[in-house]
Amino acid sequence: MARRGKKKGRPVSGWVIFDKPKGMGSTEAVSKIKWLFNVEKAGHAGTLDPLASGMLPIALGEATKTVPYVMDGTKIYSFTVTWGEERSTDDLEGPVTETSDKRPAEADILALLPKYTGIIQQTPPQFSAIKIDGERAYDLARSGETVAIPSREVEIDRLELVEINEAGQAVFEVECGKGTYVRSLARDMGRDLECFGHIAELRRMEVAPFNEDDFITLQELEAAWPPLPPKSEDEEAEASPASGTSPAPAAPRDFSVLDDFIIDTGAALEDLVQVALSDDQAHRVRMGNPVILRGRDAPLEADEVCANHKNRLLAIGYIEQGMFKPKRVFTQ
């Protein structure tokens, strides 16, 4: 039987709220953060297009178990629409497919916004990660195939026109739910205004429960990345060929400065019902066993519950007839 390889990296858990620069893909960003922090595993909570910038929440270690809760969080985007052109990708990347000399008046844009507020039907872009018969839509689109992508319900809580800039572009801010494509918003508004449109700039500003105060840039992370400690003269001498001895193992890097940027795993679960466990209860939950919650204010029923021990996340589960039943247990 093949032996399982030893995991590479540090067993670190938590969230890095990365301010992704334009031109970097989401998968590339995760790989970069994983390397910088030298962690065993990492994943992001919602793809951000390479041409977009802004918030890409990246989970490290055990925090990857909480990714679905962040993906369900409300998002806030700032985006700029160029009128007069529709593009195959609905942003600057693709070739122009439709043109118009018409430009919308501010009053016409404002009158259109209520149509795109609330629960609406939206068709994702041809160049998107939607799966069609098991294949990604963007793979089919790149091969030259045009596919019928079904529309779906998305929820837009707020859509505001911020300004019309000197170039005649419209700058918007939108607060929306999971699965909303901002590129589709630009495309559909352009069609309704009979002038066509595409995204020129896109920045994700928030992914609940995280906000702009949590941002950390690549430059800040790289500046905090720890180099290997320098060798002393004695160590250099011992490792010289003349000494005939093997080099001493390198001293470990000090990641303490970099680790200060990590947000606690439990921060992703602030909206869940919170219960505190005693030492005995925590021991039982770590073993995967349910525990009875005691106390006058202890909830009797709850679908999603965050159980904490000594102010640290221990488990996610549910409460049934006053008993907490763990579904996911956290070891770090």
Residues noted as catalytic = 49
For 85, 185, 197, 201, 290, the CA distances from 101, given in Å and listed in that order, are 9, 20, 11, 21, 66
SS3 content of the chain, % helix, strand, coil (to 5): 25, 35, 40
Measuring CA to CA, which residue among 255, 253, 254, 235 is closest to residue 245?
A: 235
Under 8 Å between Cβ of 18 and 267: no
> What per-residue string of b and e applies to 29-65 under the rule 16 or more CB within 10 Å gives b?
bbebbbebbbbbbbbbbbebbbbbbbbbbbbbbbbbb
The C-alpha atoms of residue 302 and residue 311 are separated, in whole angstroms, by: 20
In the DSSP assignment, the letter for residue 263 is B
Contact 238, 245 (CB under 8 A): yes
DSSP state of 246: P
DSSP 290: -
Side-chain-side CA neighbours of 330 within 13 Å: the count stands at 25
Decide: residue 171, CB within 10 A, 0-12 exposed, 13-18 middle, 19+ buried. Answer: middle
